[in-house]
Amino acid sequence: MILNQVEELASKAFGELDKVTDAKELEAWRIRYLGRKSTFIQILRSLATLPLEERRSVGARANEIKEAFEAGLAEKKRSLEKQTIYPLGIPSGVAFGKSSLVQLKSLDVTLPGQQVLLGRLHPTTQILDEICEIFSNMGFQVVEGPEVEWEYYNFEALNMPVDHPARDMFATLWVDFKTRAGNRSMLLRTHTSPVQIRVMEKLSPPIRVIAPGRVFRYEATDATHEWMFYQVEGLAVDTNITLADLKGTLFEFARRLFGKDRKCRFRCDYFPFVEPGVEVAIDCLVCQGDGCRLCSNSGWIEILGAGMVHPEVLRRVNIDPEVYSGFAFGMGVERIPILRYGIDDIRLFYSNDLRFLRQF
């Protein structure tokens, strides 16, 4: 009986000793298990009253445990003292006891310090921050939407019903997932444009938002293609919004991001969810428009698709196209650092090669 009690006490004590993290706790532990009034020491004392036979067996084991307690205590004390040496300086708020002061005296200040490893932001994150800052200053609100998206938001609501040939523009990664709600399908969004729909369902005009995020395409990768990349979507809906507002906004954006001498080129393009649609290019930063490898000798680099929100799209989200109009744009994000730093392979961004990432 007593033996059981002693064993139980011992395993409890060792468990608690493991969790001790400072000198104060350790002293409390010592008092709890080796203090004069502790249960364990009381038991040891009471052994004297036991019959000789029992006294021998229990006594031997109890003494063994007492020694183990003492050894454990000394060991813990040593390891706690080791922890209180701070080769990088003493963190503020650290209360140190006598023993740690002694240890600190032995600190050799001529030894080289430990290198502090500094993290850094991924180049994509850096550029996203810059883009968001510019548009925030122009009065745009930053919003986000889901990466796994309903087919409805990615296509249908954007004026691309099933079998619309424009779906071919977006090689899609489908999510194999059956819903109880019927045969609605999910996919990895192929662009950030579905966020336009989600925003217009929730907010009423005037709307001015940008939506940064990841998009996915079912495509083979090469120096200029990734299956995952980032886009920033923009949307403005209000009364009297015209193509001139779109041009003004994007032109100002390009100047703030790339410098005030930037030129912008708007050309006709087609996207089912805008009318008219445009493709926007800036003059090549590398050759200043003369023509080089980066711009395939055209002098221009396309950075985004844009246009006036299609009346059909507005109608679907119950915004009256007779009253309101809007512009939308979607830009590729990696293009920008690629241009700025002359990076020749988009795959470098997401292959986690520190030799690349440490340069930013």
Pick 100 or 192: Cβ nearer ligand PHE: 192
Q: How far is the CB of 239 from ligand PHE (least distance, A)?
A: 20
Closest by CA to 7, choosing from 50, 52, 41, 58, is 58
Q: How far is the CB of 161 from ligand PHE (least distance, A)?
A: 17
Q: How far is the C-alpha of 359 from the C-alpha of 183, rounded, in Å?
A: 47
Residue 135 near residue 234, CB atoms below 8 Å? yes
User: Residue 53: which residues within 8 A CB-CB, separation 6 or more?
Assistant: none
Pick 205 or 307: Cβ nearer ligand PHE: 307
Q: H-helix or E-strand containing 358? A: none
Pick 44 or 132: Cβ nearer ligand PHE: 132
The CA–CA distances, whole Å, from 172 to 35, 114, 305 equal 71, 49, 19
Q: How far is the C-alpha of 211 from the C-alpha of 132, rounded, in Å?
A: 9
Residues that bind ligand PHE (CB under 6 A): 191, 193, 271, 274, 277, 305-307, 328-330
Q: How far is the CB of 302 from ligand PHE (least distance, A)?
A: 10
Q: How far is the CB of 166 from ligand PHE (least distance, A)?
A: 10
Pick 253 or 271: Cβ nearer ligand PHE: 271
Q: H-helix or E-strand containing 64? A: helix 52-83
Q: How far is the C-alpha of 85 from the C-alpha of 294, rounded, in Å?
A: 55
DSSP type of residue 116:
P
Pick 270 or 360: Cβ nearer ligand PHE: 270
Q: How far is the CB of 206 from ligand PHE (least distance, A)?
A: 18
Q: How far is the CB of 331 from ligand PHE (least distance, A)?
A: 8
Beta strands in the chain (DSSP E): 141-142, 148-150, 173-175, 186-188, 207-216, 228-238, 264-269, 274-283, 300-309, 325-332
The CA–CA distances, whole Å, from 84 to 25, 87, 96, 98 equal 15, 9, 7, 11
Pick 100 or 190: Cβ nearer ligand PHE: 190
Q: How far is the CB of 96 from ligand PHE (least distance, A)?
A: 59
| Count of beta carbons in the 10 Å neighbourhood of residue 6 | 20
Pick 100 or 193: Cβ nearer ligand PHE: 193
Pick 277 or 337: Cβ nearer ligand PHE: 277
Pick 65 or 282: Cβ nearer ligand PHE: 282
Q: How far is the CB of 148 from ligand PHE (least distance, A)?
A: 17
Paired tokens of 139: 């009065």
Q: How far is the CB of 170 from ligand PHE (least distance, A)?
A: 7
Q: How far is the CB of 201 from ligand PHE (least distance, A)?
A: 17
Q: Write the DSSP string, 149-206.
A: EEHHHHTGGGT--TT-GGGGGS--EEE---BTTBS--EEE-SSSTHHHHHHHHH--SS
The CA–CA distances, whole Å, from 189 to 205, 213, 224, 310 equal 25, 10, 20, 20
User: Which residue of this chain has its Cβ atom nearest to ligand PHE in the complex?
Assistant: 330
Pick 100 or 196: Cβ nearer ligand PHE: 196
Closest by CA to 289, choosing from 254, 265, 256, 260, is 265
Closest by CA to 206, choosing from 327, 306, 331, 305, is 327
